[in-house]
């Protein structure tokens, strides 16, 4: 019985994924949205640059977000490693020590 139920659920999911329009709420097509970030009250030059990139070139903004996220992840990783070393936890050793 369970196999029949799961098969029926899979069939319904396949049908719904083949015809997505009935599953979407009724309404007209989406309009082009233009989101512009206001930079009149910003003092930092770096923030002004990032706001200009956000307003003008979304692809470059995505590249910057990817680079900054990776850089922050590496920085936090090294910082955590240093904190672990100071507390006496050796992350470079693969020895399993059980007491």
What pLDDT, in 10s, does the model give residues 14-29? 887 776 665 565 566 6
Q: Are 64 and 53 in contact (CB under 8 A)?
A: yes
Q: How confident is the model at residue 37 (pLDDT cuts 50, 70, 90)?
A: confident
Q: Output the six-digit token pair for 88.
A: 């006496």
38 in Cβ contact with 52 (< 8 Å)? no
Mean pLDDT rounded to a whole number for the chain: 83
């Amino acid at each position: 019985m369970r196999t029949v139920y799961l098969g029926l659920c899979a069939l319904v999911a396949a049908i719904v994924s083949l015809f997505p329009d009935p599953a979407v709420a009724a309404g007209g097509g989406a309009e082009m949205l233009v989101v512009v970030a206001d930079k009149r009250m910003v003092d930092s030059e770096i923030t002004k640059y990032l706001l200009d990139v956000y307003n003008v070139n979304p692809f470059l903004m995505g590249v910057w977000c990817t680079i900054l996220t990776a850089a922050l992840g590496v920085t936090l990783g090294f910082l955590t490693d240093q904190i672990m070393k100071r507390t006496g936890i050796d992350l470079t050793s693969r020895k399993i020590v059980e007491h």
